[in-house]
Amino acid sequence: MRPFSWRFIRVWQRNSDVFLRLWHTEAPAFIAEPLILLLAMGLGLGGYIGAVDGQRYIEFIAPGIIAAYAMFSASSECTYSSFVRMEFQNTFDAILATPLNVEDIIAGEIFWGATRSVMTSVAVLTITAAFQLVHSPWVLLIPPFALLEGLMFSSIALFFTSFAPSINSFNYYFTLFISPMFFLSGVFFPLSTFPELLQKLSWIAPLTPVAQITRALFQGEFGPKLLPALGIIIGYTVIFFAISLVTMRRRLTR
Amino acid sequence: MVIIKTENLTRKFKELTAVDSVGLEIAEGECFGLLGPNGAGKTSLIRMITAISPPNGGSIWVAGKDLAKHPREVKAMLGVVPQIDNLDPDLNVMQNLLTFSRYFNIPRPEAYRRSLEVLRLFQLEDKQRSRTRELSGGMKRRLLIARGLLNTPKILILDEPSIGLDPQSKHMVWQKLRELRSQGVTQLMCTQNMEEAALLCDRVAIMHLGKILVVDTPEGVIARYVGSRIWEIEVEPSERDEVIEVLRRRHLEFEEVVNTIQVFNYDSQGLGGLPGRPRKATLEDVFFKLTGRSLVE
């Protein structure tokens, strides 16, 4: 593994320039969808569901939706979008002909994916505020926390991208990895509903600790009991960031 | 002065040795052409010299710097013009150039000034606001060359600079490359276009199956391998065997291409009595002679 340099910021800037030109094409995914979900599940379905963990159902799922959509943003950025830049637009080849090296590109992609998570978390958080669901000042920590969440999901996604043979391969990634997490990591119901074995297994899914921390910040119950969850996220981030530096180098320099 | 030097440069892909112990010396200020059929190893060689793929063996020195140790410093001196279009389709022409300048840490006002300058050089200044996908193939290629000049490179590396261009654009590109050459910019180009190589290059190397077969001036290569003129005999099928018999008896070097027999390295005495006419030998004749007429892929 070789280190990246501060020059990764140039890749980040390139991606952000393109995003600022085209953001309106992405807006439905990170604004309209969570909004519809809050309306349908929170208000609609929530009307038939009593209190969950002592709160209204919509209050329970709101932080879960913030966490899940931040995950979607980083994941789609570092799978489909990175793949298009790498294979179809040959953007990485163009950048490699400049003083930047492979590691700078990888770090730029991962930090950009994480930035998308932050933007999405801010957008969804604002929507929940509009629903008058925000009561604690701790929510201000959700966007910085989404940066860490985004670094983790971007690193995992880019690791998968480094050996994806075609853009269709990402259907597997989303169907078998991202979607199950969306439904089974404590976004829509407390994991305590599950049998004990399933509860333990669900902690393997990286979204589970993210949902737990985001919910705690949302409810203003931040405390040391969250440290194990934070440890899991940092662990996944460090491991997958490092592995993707190696596997992407292999793919890009062949 | 030697500006690019490779020693025993080797690149392997599993069973295949794409580049096989290549030693090259390119002088500062010269235009050097790398010729060879598809699969000869030209692209692999260029990818190593531009620090994109690492060699399996050997070394590369650019302007006195070891590429393996100082890839960033070396790449800062290079202008790379790829064969494929890798412009940013989501950005307009000016944004493409400004974004690219940023990779070289060129400050914004300077980047803008240089971008305008290279756009003017390639007559693209009125396309600043166009999306790159709206540009014609010729404009895209000119823009790719223009982009390669943003960092005022010491060495310009071009992969098939005129491929797919109409005659007007092709001649414009050639003209600009000549101007850059006269300003002292070293050029290393891969090309399959023998006319281009003969016209632009001070020296050419012919590459085949991963090895460099010959390095010389275009005239030197031609004189050495086929002589400056080629005698062409158009033969009827009925006369063919007889003519070939004569050529063999006189130990003349020849090759049969469809209905024409080409005689190389001849003198007028040796040809005595044979029909046909002379024509000027070209790099293409050398190319065929060294790399064969069959498809290599």
A143/A73 Cα distance (integer angstroms): 13
Sheet hosting strand B203-208, strand order edge to edge:
B78-81, B155-159, B186-191, B31-35, B203-208, B211-216
CA distances from A218 to A144, B70, B202 (A): 13, 49, 70
In a domain, A1, yes or no: no
Mean of all residue pLDDT scores within chain B? 91
CA separation for the pair A52, A211 (Å, rounded): 15
Query: pLDDT tens digits for B167-194?
Result: 998 999 999 999 999 999 999 999 989 9
Mean predicted confidence (pLDDT) in B72-100: 95
Evaluate whether residue A239 is within a structural domain.
yes
B29 and chain A in contact, CB less than 8 A: no
pLDDT for position A25? 84
A vs B: CB pairs below 8 A: 68
Spatial contact of A139 and A125, defined as CB atoms under 8 Å apart: yes
Residue B297 has pLDDT above 60, yes or no: no
Closest Cα of chain B to A18: distance in Å? Answer: 6
CB-count burial class (<10 Å; 0-12, 13-18, 19+) for B132 = buried
In 3D, which of B65, B47, B59 has the Cα closest to residue B7?
B59
Q: At residue B157, does pLDDT exceed 70? A: yes
Alpha-helical runs (H) found in chain A: 8-27, 33-37, 57-76, 82-83, 91-96, 102-130, 142-161, 170-173, 179-184, 196-202, 207-219, 227-252
Complex ipTM, two decimals? 0.90
Q: Which are the contacts of B220, defined by CB distance < 8 A and separation ≥ 6?
A: none
Tell me whether residue A2 is in a domain. no
Residue A248 forms contact with B (CB below 8 Å)? no
Least Cα separation, residue A236 to chain B (angstroms): 29
Residue of B192 and A155 predicted with greater confidence: A155
Cβ of A101 within 8 Å of Cβ of B71? The answer is yes
Decide if B75 and A10 are in contact by the 8 Å CB cutoff: no
Question: What does the pLDDT average to over A120-147?
Answer: 95
The answer to whether the CB atoms of A254 and B103 lie below 8 A apart is: no
CB contact under 8 A, B75 and A97: yes
Find which of A89, A98, A103 to mutate to test the B interface (most B CBs within 10 Å of its CB).
A98
Give the model confidence (pLDDT) of A19-29 as tens digits. Answer: 998 888 888 87
Q: Is the pLDDT of residue A168 over 90?
A: yes
Q: How confident is the model at residue B295 (pLDDT cuts 50, 70, 90)?
A: low
CB contact under 8 A, A10 and B102: yes
Q: Which helix (H) or strand (E) holds A2?
A: none
One-letter amino acid identity for A189?
A: F
Dist. CA B174–CA B279, nearest whole Å: 25
pLDDT above 90 for A47 = no
Q: Which of B13, B53, B90 sits opposite A21 (nearest CB)?
A: B90
Of A17, A18, A99, Cβ closest to residue B104: A99
Task: Give the domain range for residue A86.
Answer: 8-252
Residue window 241-260, chain B: list those with CB within 8 Å of chain A: none
Q: Return the biggest CA–CA distance within chain B.
A: 74
Query: A30: distance to nearest CA of chain B, Å?
Result: 21
Helix (H, G, I), strand (E, B) or coil at B31: strand
Answer whether residue B244 shows pLDDT above 90. no
pTM of structure: 0.91
CATH class, range B2-221: alpha beta
Instruction: Report which residue type is found at A57.
Output: Y
Amino acid letter at B202? D
* Cβ distance of A98 and B105 shorter than 8 Å: no
